[in-house]
Chain A
């Protein structure tokens, strides 16, 4: 295992409420990513981080924000959850320099 812990693993929340997903790594990797996985779309990048307090948007960033105050933690926040954000969210890490990317076990989010 790549030393990635996601929490919570499962969450049901109501439309309009804020939600924060946490990713914690023990590998000291520089790069951290948040993806969402939906049928027919594969894995789509939401946001990524290339260092503490250094983040950038991915292809589906609308409605999401991220923060990275420590190397080991990368938070994904849905400011006001919508039903379209019902999905499986995966955190991933990479050491950079052309190295591969490793995924966490996922967080299942249902917005009702």
Chain B
């Protein structure tokens, strides 16, 4: 059965800290891995990764995929209280054309 596991489940840090969130997957016929940020309701798209070793960056957020280790990390540097959210990881496969397999998410709280 296809599975996506995120760790840690929750994390509390102080403003200015750097955090690393992990996503590992066990799926058949991997196509892509996506990161989303969910603040109040709607998850918002952050990154889509398809190739191993290529870092994607957006401001203080960056992410990289390791297909050998079947995992991805999401880094947030110089955290701010506005980064407090649930970070969701999802994987798509070539076998289930419309299938997005989500992890449970990591709940990040950044204290002022």
A and B are partners in one complex rather than unrelated chains: no
Which A residues are within 8 Å of any B CB, using their own CB?
none
Which B residues are within 8 Å of any A CB, using their own CB?
none
